[in-house]
Amino acid sequence: MVEKVIKLENVSLVDFLGVENTNIKEISNAFPKSKIISRGNEIRIQGSSPEILKINDTFNNLLEHYRKFGKVTTENVVNYIERDSRDIQVQLKEDTLIYGAKGLAIRPKTENQRLLVDSASKDDLTFAVGPAGTGKTYISVALAVKALKNKQVKKIIITRPAVEAGENLGFLPGDLKEKIDPYLRPIYDALYDMIPSEKLKYYLENGIIEIAPLAYMRGRTLNGAFILLDEAQNTTVMQMKMFLTRMGPESKMIVTGDKSQIDLPRNQKSGLLNALTVLHGINGISIVELSNKDVIRHRLVKNIITAYNKFDDAEKGQEKKVSKQERQPVS
C-alpha cells in the first residue's frame, strides 16, 4: 500500500473540504479501494499507485477551482471526478468564452459543451440537442455575447416559440410583451449574468440585442447577426423551415432543444425532430448531442433525467409488446 500526503496551505478548510468534510466523503465514495484521511490541514491518501494518482489529480483540480472561486461545493467535486474519469483536462484560460457581469469566467464545463463551442465556431448553423440543465442555452448565449463583443456580428437575435405548457396565454395579465416575457425569462437571466445591467438595457432599447417570440421572425432577413432559437422542440415543421431560411449574409445560427420536452399537440410533428432528419449530413451544419452526463445543475437532476429515460423506455417497450399481441391473428 502506498501513501500520499497533501498539505493544504492558505486554504479555508470549511470552504474547501465542506461542512463536516462532505467533499472528502464524496471523493472517498468515488474511490472505495483507497483510504482518505483528513487531519487539520493534511490529507493522507492510502491505496494503490494508479488510484492515488487519480485522487491526487482530483485534489489538484479542486485546489485550482478553489483558488479561482474561493469555494468548493459537493457538485464541483462530482463534476471534477467525472471529468477525470473521462480524461478531460480543463484548460481554464483557453476555454473562457467571456467574463460575466461580475467578472466570473464563463466557459464550457463538459466535453460536449466544448464540442458545441467548437462546432459553432466552425459552422454557421449548429443544432444543440439535450436534456434540461446541460447548459446548451447558456453556452449559446455566451457565444452570441462573445461574437458581439468581438464585433463579429452587429446584433444578437434570440427567439423561442411561445408554446403553452399547461397555461393559457390569454389568461395571463398584461400586454403582449408582458405575456411573452415569462417564456423568455431564462434568456434574460443568462444575459444579466454576462452583461452589466445598464449596458444590457442600452443594447435592448437600441435593438442591438433583440429578444422576441418566433412569430416575429416571419418575413425578415437577418444579416450580420448571431441568431439563437431556444426550445426548438416546440416549433412546427413550417415554423422551423421559416426560421432557418431567415439567415442572411455574415450570420450565425444556433438552434437548441430538448427532444423529451415537446409541448406540441399530439398530432403536430416537432420542427426540431424533422430538421435533424432532413438536414443531417449537410456540409456547414453541425448537430451536437448533449446527454445527462453534461447536466451541470443540482446533482439530483442527472438522476431524475436517467430515471425518466428508463421509465419512458420501459413504457415504449410495453406499448410495442401490446401492439404486437393485437396484430396477431385470432385462431
295 and 206, same structural domain? yes
* Domain CATH code at residue 125: 3.40.50.300
Tens digit of each residue's pLDDT, the chain (331 residues): 678 888 888 888 999 998 888 999 999 988 888 899 988 889 999 988 778 888 888 888 888 888 878 889 888 888 888 765 554 444 445 578 888 877 778 888 888 999 999 999 999 999 999 988 888 999 999 999 999 999 999 999 999 887 644 444 455 555 555 666 677 788 888 999 999 989 999 999 999 999 888 888 888 888 999 999 999 999 999 999 999 999 999 999 999 999 988 988 888 999 999 999 999 989 999 999 998 878 776 667 767 877 887 887 787 777 666 666 666 665 5
Is there a domain that residue 259 lies in? yes
User: What is the extent of the structural domain holding 80?
Assistant: 2-85
Tell me, what's the pLDDT at 166?
42
Judge if 67 and 152 occupy the same domain: no
The answer as to whether 73 is a domain residue is: yes
pLDDT at res. 238: 94
Check whether residue 121 and residue 212 sit in a common domain. yes
**Statement to judge: residues 41 and 107 lie in one domain:** no
Q: How many residues does the chain have?
A: 331
Same domain? For 157 and 74 the reply is no
Q: Where are the beta strands (DSSP E) in the chain?
A: 2-7, 35-39, 42-47, 98-99, 105-106, 125-129, 155-160, 209-213, 225-229, 252-257, 285-289
Beta-strand relationship, 225-229 and 209-213:
unpaired
Q: How far apart are CA 120 and CA 255, in angstroms?
A: 10
* 319 belongs to a structural domain: no
Residue 285 falls within a domain, yes or no? yes
Residue 317 lies in a domain: no
According to DSSP, residue 70 is labeled: S
14-45 as b/e: b if 16+ CB within 10 A: eebbbeebebbbbbbebbeebebebeeeebeb
The pTM (predicted TM-score) of the whole model is 0.64
Q: Are 207 and 109 part of one and the same domain?
A: yes
How many domains in the chain?
2
| Domain CATH for 13 | 3.30.1370.10
**Same domain, yes or no: 71 and 102:** no
pLDDT the model gives residue 90: 44
pLDDT of residue 285: 95
**Are 46 and 149 members of one domain?**
no
Tell me if residue 102 falls in helix, strand or coil. Answer: coil
Cα separation, 232 vs 239, in Å, equals 10
Q: Does the residue 166 lie in any domain?
A: yes
Burial (CB count <10 Å: 0-12, 13-18, 19+), residue 6: middle
Per-residue confidence (pLDDT) for residue 329, from 0 to 100: 61
The CA–CA distances, whole Å, from 72 to 10, 78, 80 equal 14, 11, 11
Domain assignment present for residue 203? The answer is: yes
Domain annotation covers residue 183: yes
36 shares its domain with 105 = no
58, 80 Cβ separation under 8 angstroms: yes
Q: Are residues 114 and 227 in the same domain?
A: yes
Beta strand 35-39 pairing with 42-47? antiparallel
Is there a single domain that holds both residue 217 and residue 240? yes
Q: For residues 138 and 143, what is the distance between their CA atoms, to the nearest angstrom?
A: 9
